[in-house]
Amino acid sequence: MHNDSLKKKAFSSILWSAIDRFSSQGIAFIIGLILARILLPADYGLIGMLTIFIVLSQSLTDSGFSTALIQKKDTNNVDYSTIFYVNIFISLLVYIILFFSAKYISEFFGEPLLIDLTKVVGINVIINSLSIVQRAKLTRELEFKKQTKISVLSVIISGSVGVYLALNGYGVWALVYQTILRNVVSLVLFWTYSKWIPELLFSIKSLKSLFGFGSRILIWAVINSIFENIYFVVVGKYYSAQDLGYYTRAQQFKQLPASNITAILQRVTLPVFSQIQDDNIRLKIGYKKAIKLVAFIMFPLMTGLALIAKPLILTILTVKWLPAVALLQILSFEGILYPIHALNLNILNVKGYSNLFLRLDLIKKALIVVVIIVTISISIKAMVIGYLILSVISFFINTYYSKRFINYGAIEQIRDIAPYFFATAVMAILNLFILTLIDSYIYELIISIIFCGGFYFLIAYLFKFSELVELKSFFNNRKNSE
């Protein structure tokens, strides 16, 4: 594919993927704020206790096959149909295990209600398995516009029902039924928009081929699911459901920008860069632009979130969520590097080195265990600070292979993102000074958002940041082509 054509396709895919994630997640976030004002922190804590089990179950169900389908150069209908039936079989097996483990999960956390919650929430594993192939097919074809429609519709419908149930006293079950309905609506729409229906085809050869790549992704996904959510388990076990609720809410605030931008990049860069996986020069150019774009967005966005954490939570969620403020501030800074980690790791998948991907991740997981052991007896805040420090260390670990495979290591990446760091630092210092002159949380929130956004874009304009110029050029070209 020609450079300009690939660039145009990548930008278009990023645009629609961003619209997908931020429209659907933005709506979900607003609905979540409404629910948080109605429900109690302990309700979110109960769901948080189940998070690791559900995420782990979904990783097992997928088994790395969706990534394998996207990465494979010559995927055909035999591959799709084979994986479809395998996913269903695994999901049923996983749900049976979840069902009979419900009692033990409940006893582990000391929460009797978790028995019923586990059995009902686990149904999502089966529902999601029915659309894994359709989702992978649309992603492979870069059909993010269709996925945007699916996400938005499912969020609006399920969110409306969730709020209705919360207002009518359903408590934690409002969150459970909302999630199930969202996945059901998504399932129906994925089948409708993908226009792909499984055939009565099954190939052991195809399964072995895809599993050869996917198995390494599966091992990583399982390990990653455990360690990405291990804090939910540790906080839920050693602290109260209410404390876990505060941590869960702080994570959700952080994840709206950090995790969504990461998901956008992973979803787009894997299929796009896989097309040029043998051209290291073009790969480096592509990743260089992606890293700079991420830094251009994430540094001011996440720093701004840390600055407005207190007025944001007190204004929107009320004082009952105040303990989540400090956690959100720390997690916001950790979130800055989140998509940069993903981009560096994605290089290994693009190049087909999923075994190295796994090995690299295992090193970082071992460090997480060390951090937890050191901080668990101190406080939740100490645990989160430890994770922030580990995130910085992980940057240097991740970039080792980036240097090895496409000659784009830590020093060069730091040099590329330095301008955005300094522009953000100036923005933050000036904003903190302005906040000392204001004594209203609402005014702090409004003025901070306006000042941070306006000042940063002024700096970007004056210093002619290439990302701002490219985004402006891209949108102008789209406007002229319509």
Residue 132's nearest CA partner among 86, 73, 98, 84 is 84
Let me know whether 94 and 17 are in one domain.
yes
Give pLDDT, residue 14.
59
DSSP 374: H
What are the pLDDT digits (tens) for 337-395?
A: 988 888 888 887 777 776 777 777 778 888 888 999 999 999 999 999 999 999 999 99
Whether 79 shows a pLDDT value over 60: the answer reads yes
Separation CA 20–CA 106 (nearest Å): 36
Let me know whether 415 and 321 are in one domain.
yes
Top pLDDT among 112 and 211 is at 112
- Split at pLDDT 50, 70, 90, the class of 1 is very low
Write down the H helix ranges in 256-353. Answer: 258-274, 280-307, 309-316, 324-336, 338-350
Please give the tally of structural domains in the chain. 2
Let me know whether 267 and 388 are in one domain.
yes
- Split at pLDDT 50, 70, 90, the class of 468 is confident
Let me know whether 223 and 246 are in one domain.
no
- Split at pLDDT 50, 70, 90, the class of 126 is very high
Let me know whether 171 and 276 are in one domain.
no
Highest mean pLDDT among 158-162, 196-200, 229-233: 158-162
C-alpha radius of gyration, the chain, whole number: 22
Separation CA 81–CA 84 (nearest Å): 5
Let me know whether 184 and 332 are in one domain.
no
- Split at pLDDT 50, 70, 90, the class of 450 is very high
Let me know whether 458 and 472 are in one domain.
yes
Let me know whether 148 and 47 are in one domain.
yes
Residue 246's nearest CA partner among 41, 31, 387, 386 is 41
Top pLDDT among 273 and 363 is at 363
Separation CA 410–CA 401 (nearest Å): 10
Let me know whether 267 and 310 are in one domain.
yes
Whether 95 shows a pLDDT value over 70: the answer reads yes
Separation CA 137–CA 197 (nearest Å): 11
Q: Which of 228, 263, 278 corresponds to the end of one domain?
A: 228
Let me know whether 270 and 315 are in one domain.
yes
Contact of 28 with 151, CB cutoff 8 Å: no
Give pLDDT, residue 56.
82
Top pLDDT among 470 and 387 is at 387
Top pLDDT among 5 and 150 is at 150
Give pLDDT, residue 9.
54
Q: Which of 228, 252, 285 corresponds to the end of one domain?
A: 228
Percent of the chain with pLDDT over 90: 31
Let me know whether 223 and 238 are in one domain.
no
Give pLDDT, residue 324.
93
**Boundaries of domain holding 52:** 1-228
What are the pLDDT digits (tens) for 298-321?
A: 999 999 999 999 999 988 888 889
Contact of 121 with 176, CB cutoff 8 Å: yes
Q: Which of 211, 228, 245 corresponds to the end of one domain?
A: 228
Residue-wise DSSP of 9-54 = HHHHHHHHHHHHHHHHHHHHHHHHHHHHHHS-HHHHHHHHHHHHHH
- Split at pLDDT 50, 70, 90, the class of 216 is low
Highest mean pLDDT among 61-65, 68-72, 296-300: 296-300
Let me know whether 113 and 131 are in one domain.
yes
State mean pLDDT over 247-275: 76
